[in-house]
Amino acid sequence: MARQHERRTIHVDGEWRDAISGATRDIIDPADARPFAVVAEGDEKDTDLAVEAARRAFHEGDWPHTPVTERAALLRRVADLLVRDREELGLLESRDAGKTLEEGRVDIDCVADAFRYFADLVAAEAPGRVVDAGSSDIHSVVVHEPVGVCALITPWNYPLLQASWKIAPALAAGNTFVVKPSEITPLTTIALIDLLTEAGLPSGVANIVTGPGHSVGARLAEHPDVDLVSFTGGLASGVKVAQAAAPSVKKVALELGGKNPNVVFADACATEAGFDTAVDQALNAAFIHSGQVCSAGSRLIVEESIRERFVAELAHRAAKIRLGRGTDAGVECGPLVSEQQRAKTESYVASALAEGAVLRTGGKRPEGLGDGYFYEPTVLDACHREMRVVREEVFGPVLTVETFRTEDEAVALANDTEYGLAGAVWTADAGRARRVAGRLRHGTVWINDFHPYLPQAEWGGFGKSGVGRELGPAGLAEYRESKHVYQNLAPKPVRWFAG
């Protein structure tokens, strides 16, 4: 794997640099709360230099005009390099973000898949869409061009995966970019910039500024020379990004999280195999990566007739989830990413219990795991829609339980959220599955499954889960402008005016 750049983690116009201010930041291992890396702490000045380099590369460089086949070939080389460095990158992702090593490895696989997908997508496209103008003397075609300079602001929970969902389509479309990874988990994104360089990407096309959102992210969002800003993160920050981008009328894509329902009908559990699968998937939905997933199935909405058996078994299994450092053998769930995130989780659980929720398991810090930011997988029963823990995104290992009696009630509960990112329906009735999926106001609906990943399918949400889409053809379209080229092969005077 390409080397990590100790302190020199700002990459502008092909060069690794310190922050202009000389500031640095310690990167903390959430499994033991100790620093294990140091990165440059950039600010507005570093950001301006990066945008300037990206603008120069777009207007004066070759990348926007590079043939599609060559751009696709570079993306495939990047995918091959990711496969080559899978173990090291997976380990780095595990230590930086706190997830298990196996989760880190799977993330790298998904990153490679994203680069291959967008390479294949652009390579297979027609050069333009012919528009029938009704005359053989007219040649009319709609072509796609890169947007320009893209500001890519990524979250801390899936650092490299979320970066790839932005970087791969941006490059496939011929753009240049500045990426700002989360200041908490920047290390694998830094490594990716090295891989892009190794793959042959020209200088100035890919730039990275490590630093906080209030300076680097805010400057990218407002910068007049940025043509598009793509942001993944929390709702409050997303609103600020949109407000900052508005005066320059740049394109904006926002993925802002969710409060995702996992609806379980009794008929899905009519057999022992069906019951076991639904419980197992509910655990996966709620507790993978300690619940720090925008699409986490943190709201279990279960039919009343099976509620007690289902929740009892779920809580029993949740209590057995093995916590620890993600690289240790046998560990199934790592720590939360920071002390701030754990304190936030604790406050939500405390408010839920004060509002009448029933604790079925968890609800505290585990013993014997040192100073890491661990929190037990928590199941809260007897929840209702007035509770904060049900309405707001916790981003921690907390599952709430609500119940329903009828299909209409299940749909109403699932849709009773200001978010609309993802949801799932568990039922043995194919007709019900289609009906309920069609009525759910969520950008992704899984039927008898949770969390499958398909780069060819669009990802994004309704309501306050954001605007725009990532992945799929629509994810590529976010990074393009459409141009209509109308050519008159036999021009004639129009004679609108006397003279």
Residue 473 has pLDDT above 60, yes or no: yes
Phi/psi region, residue 463 (left: phi>0; alpha: psi -120 to 50; beta: rest), is left
CA distance 325 to 370: 11
Of 193, 226, 172, 165, give the one whose Cα is nearest residue 63: 172
CA distance 274 to 201: 49
Q: What is the pLDDT of residues 327-378, one digit of tens each?
A: 999 999 999 999 999 999 999 999 999 999 999 999 999 999 999 999 999 9
Q: What is the pLDDT of residues 175-221, one digit of tens each?
A: 999 999 999 999 999 999 999 999 999 999 999 999 999 999 999 99
Residue 225 has pLDDT above 90, yes or no: yes
Contacts of 47 (CB under 8 A, 6+ apart): 178, 180, 209, 211, 215, 216, 219, 220, 223
Q: What is the pLDDT of residues 286-331, one digit of tens each?
A: 999 999 999 999 999 999 999 999 999 999 999 999 999 999 999 9
Q: What is the pLDDT of residue 66?
A: 97
CA distance 367 to 358: 22
- Residues serving a catalytic function are 255
Show me where the domains of the chain are located.
10-256+469-485, 261-447
Pick the CATH number of 10-256+469-485 from 3.40.630.10, 3.40.605.10, 3.90.700.10, 1.10.287.130: 3.40.605.10
**Model pTM above 0.85:** yes
* Residue-by-residue DSSP string for 54-96: HHHHHHHSSGGGS-HHHHHHHHHHHHHHHHHTHHHHHHHHHHH
Q: What is the pLDDT of residues 118-154, one digit of tens each?
A: 999 999 999 899 999 999 999 999 999 999 999 999 9
Helix H or strand E segment including 121 = helix 101-123
**pLDDT-based confidence at 6, cuts 50/70/90?**
low
Q: What is the CATH number of domain 261-447?
A: 3.40.309.10
Of 399, 372, 389, give the one whose Cα is nearest residue 291: 399
Mean pLDDT, range 73-95, rounded to an integer: 98
Mean pLDDT, range 216-239, rounded to an integer: 97
**pLDDT-based confidence at 2, cuts 50/70/90?**
very low
Q: Which residues pair with 207 in a beta bridge?
A: 178
